[in-house]
Amino acid sequence: KRVEMADGAWLLRHHALDVSSTLLHAVDQISSAAPFRHMVTPGGFSMSVAMTNCGPFGWVTDRRGYRYQTTDPESGKPWPAMPQSFQSLAESAARDAGYPDFIPNACLINRYEPGAKMSLHQDKDEKDFTNPIVSVSLGLPATFQFGGMNRTDPVRKHVLSHGDVVVWGGPSRLFFHGIMPLKDGIHDAAGRARINLTFRHAAV
């Protein structure tokens, strides 16, 4: 079942449920090579969400700004490879939402512990906004806020749960969005956390 949350944003509920344990196992492997870390924003604040990446490009932030880079700034080594399970899932979700040509080359992995949040923002660090973004939610549920093209546009709230996949394309690609502070809980497969995989086509 596909639900259009906004113009071009498709919610594929439970699309990743049957591969969720494979994905979580891969996240453990990736984070043993490139550990989760709290990156610093250009304004000097440490993010409450812990992040790592896999694939050819990784998203990073520090005092110098936001960007994609091919190496992990903590180790100087390339990011861990993108597992085939990640690539296949992202491509199948994009295809189901009408983007048969999407090939992700960047996967940002966000880890939320209780209280962690992501304030309203736009994703503008990619070069080509015709490529969609595919996001996969695992572990504890979170309340997602979805606005419009302007920061002050009204926001709608949606709960994203374990196994849910959303494909953000078309006009929604540049809409403001965020995650409310994570409520405490324990998830059978992921423990006291929410993991979000965000697949993008990046370029330097």
Could you list the residues that contact ligand MD3 (CB under 6 A)?
108, 110, 118, 123, 133, 135, 166, 168, 172-173, 175, 177, 179, 196, 198
Q: Which is nearer to Fe ion, 1 or 203 (CB)?
A: 203
Told to check if 72 binds Fe ion by CB under 5 A, we report no
Q: Which is nearer to ligand MD3, 76 or 107 (CB)?
A: 107
User: Which of 83, 19, 53 has its CA nearest to residue 196?
Assistant: 53
Q: Which is nearer to Fe ion, 123 or 126 (CB)?
A: 123
**What is the closest distance, in whole angstroms, from the C-beta atom of residue 28 to ligand MD3 in the complex?**
18
**What is the closest distance, in whole angstroms, from the C-beta atom of residue 173 to ligand MD3 in the complex?**
5
Among 72, 123, 126, 164, binds Fe ion (CB under 5 A): 123
Told to check if 126 binds Fe ion by CB under 5 A, we report no
**What is the closest distance, in whole angstroms, from the C-beta atom of residue 122 to Fe ion in the complex?**
7
